[in-house]
Structure 1
């Protein structure tokens, strides 16, 4: 997942708030900070994308066609970044170093207006003012670090990607809401209020999406799925461990007579990939149409339900805490 836009957005707000901290009478340095900082931050995000968090191994996700197996659509997958594979401590130190270097580059770029001496002074100021960006960007990097743990296109993978945008929006909202306490009255309070409102609204919208995803997962049974009951619908359940296989496909070492109970099933049915775990549960029913002799796949679920529920509940907890903090800080800066 690219970090260019999240980092660029944080850089834009951070550059504007940095200009507020100087209380500059001249507008030129303010707009220069607001223009240069997001560009440098976006370049930092591009640099960090393949080093922290999930990265793409292909061009685009492929939708499985009819009759395809679970693995046939895996032309695009997520995986841990290069720094992430070195361990959390090394990844944190390298990320801190990269943020500091970006701050120095940002300060030197702005200092070009004053010549060589301005570049030296700008480098020092850039290093100092990169420190407030460390916790802000760290929140986004922590969320990005979870991208890639689940299969691409799954429910958990979607939640992990939304977490990056939720962290970005919350960082921006909190930065604006606390800016008055840190730097005094902002130059454009109404603009700040609008930016904070947009950030909190984005967090709220993503919170709702996560809640819907959790509700969908909770509708799945804890154990093997139960087929429909009644005279017209007779169902059977196939539960497999390990590699996903199509109904009717024998596993290793299985004879033809020991094939899955879903042998002869037709149709794709509803496919749900939870993202974590390799368990596969298949619900096969007898259709009510004229061809009752051919069983039909009603639903296929891949992954561990409890692990997916834990991830989604954690996402809701983070979103709820963020909204509570935002609501507590909302009125104070505008008094």
Structure 2
């Protein structure tokens, strides 16, 4: 099965993946818990990674389709990694070069870019897998439209899950260490809303368009038994080769029956495909809701206490040493205090 998607159809999703990954990665690398990159370059990271991601997405169909013809789908993942990892290195080096201006920062940016691209690779793979699955149905059909929506649904769910990497920024912002991650929160909320809208579109296809097509053209027939007329409207379900029609019966003057509507495809297969899309959408919607709950928790007091403990454990705060010394002194004093009913040794 060869890839039919045009370059722009993958270029735009991959550009969004790159922009979101660039913004989130720049924030994580500059956060006090990681602290391996300079802060204040999230805008540059989003722009550079978004442009490179869009170019990778536009190039993918031209690279994947010829290899599928000879090697099958298995080689597409090697092609994806061969494009994403160097793209991450290029983006990291470019971002570090623009914001740092030295050879050392550019070299470290290349390493950080490869690491971040490797972390983004599952998202790119999920989007590509959804795009390849969209090739199963005939172009312009009901199922094909649902499969196209699945690409965006998987993208939204993946980006929503990716925002979990920025959870430590919420307690860090409450402590005044970093700006409030409003963009990340808006991305998680927007992805959740987009998933819900796509679910509504699939529900409308399953609950309205498919039953209406079945009711309007309920009589099975053979295409050879119907007088061909290119002006007859057609509804393509996308899967299967069944033909149902709404017939205008012929008489002694008109001869053969004529169709006023043709429905092409299997109702059962189309219904199963759309029901599967709704199940997938429900899982994505639940994931998006869980991510929003996690962001809500990260902005609370419990996350601040956990963040302070992690910050001290990593040795990033000098004030933690004094606090730890006081805590240990209190433990020693409590440990040397005689228990109730117990006499001290020096009084024996």
TM over 0.5: yes
| CA distance, structure 2, for counterparts of residue 157 and residue 137 of structure 1 | 21
Of 198, 210, 215, which aligns to 1:206? 198
Does the 8 Å contact 2:169/2:181 carry over to 1?
no
Say whether residues 1:93 and 2:56 are aligned partners.
no
Instruction: Report what 2:50 is aligned to.
Output: 38
Partner of 2:18: 11
The equivalent position to 1:159 in structure 2, one of 146, 167, 182, is: 146
Residues 92 and 112, structure 2, Cα contact 8 Å, conserved in 1: yes
Q: RMSD of aligned C-alpha atoms?
A: 3.0
Q: Give the C-alpha shift of residue 24 in structure 1.
A: 6.0
After superposition, where does 1:1-335 map in structure 2 within 5 Å? 1=5, 2-23=9-30, 28-52=40-64, 81-85=65-69, 86-113=71-98, 114-180=101-167, 185=172, 187-215=179-207, 216-219=209-212, 221=214, 226=218, 237=219, 239-240=221-222, 245=223, 260=225, 262-263=226-227, 268-286=231-249, 297-335=259-297
Change (3 A) 1:210 1:134: same
Q: Could you list the runs of 5+ residues in structure 1 that have no partner in the other structure?
A: 53-80, 227-236, 246-250, 252-259
Hey, what does 1:62 align to over in structure 2?
Answer: none
Contact preservation (8 Å) 2:170, 2:180: no
Which residue does 2:306 correspond to in 1?
none
Instruction: Report if aligned partners of 1:181, 1:333 keep a CA contact under 8 Å in 2.
Output: no
> Which structure has the larger Rg?
2
The alpha-carbon deviation at position 196 of structure 1 amounts to 1.4
1:149 deviates by 2.3
Secondary structure at the counterpart of residue 137 of structure 2: coil
Partner-residue secondary structure (3-state), 2:221: strand
Q: Which moved more, 1:273-282 or 1:149-158?
A: 273-282
CA distance in 2: counterparts of 1:48 and 1:275, whole angstroms:
25
Instruction: Classify the secondary structure of the residue corresponding to 2:41.
Output: helix
CA shift in 2, pair 1:167/1:182, >3 Å: farther
Q: 1:15, CA displacement in angstroms?
A: 0.9
Q: What's the CA shift for 1:118?
A: 3.5
Q: Distance in 2 between matches of 1:112 and 1:159?
A: 42
Deviation sequence 1:103-158 (CA, Å, 0-9, x none)? 11112212334344433332222111211101111111111112222221111111
Q: Which moved more, 1:206-215 or 1:178-187?
A: 178-187
Counterpart residue number, 1:68: none
Once the two structures are TM-superposed, the CA of residue 211 in structure 1 deviates from its matched residue by 1.1
Contact 2:166 2:184 in 1 (8 A): no
For residue 167 of structure 2, give the secondary structure of its aligned residue in structure 1.
helix
SS at match of 2:118: coil
Cα distance in 1, alignment partners of residues 127 and 11 from structure 2: 11
**Which deviations, in whole Å up to 9, do the C-alpha atoms of 1:273-331 show, x marking residues without a partner?**
011222222220359xxx99996523211112222122212211111001012112322
Q: Describe the superposition over 1:25-75 as per-residue Cα deviations: whole angstroms up to 9, x where unpaired.
A: 9654332212211111111111113344xxxxxxxxxxxxxxxxxxxxxxx
Deviations 1:252-281 (A, max 9, x none): xxxxxxxx2x45x87955421011222222
From the two aligned structures, give the one with the greater helix fraction. 2
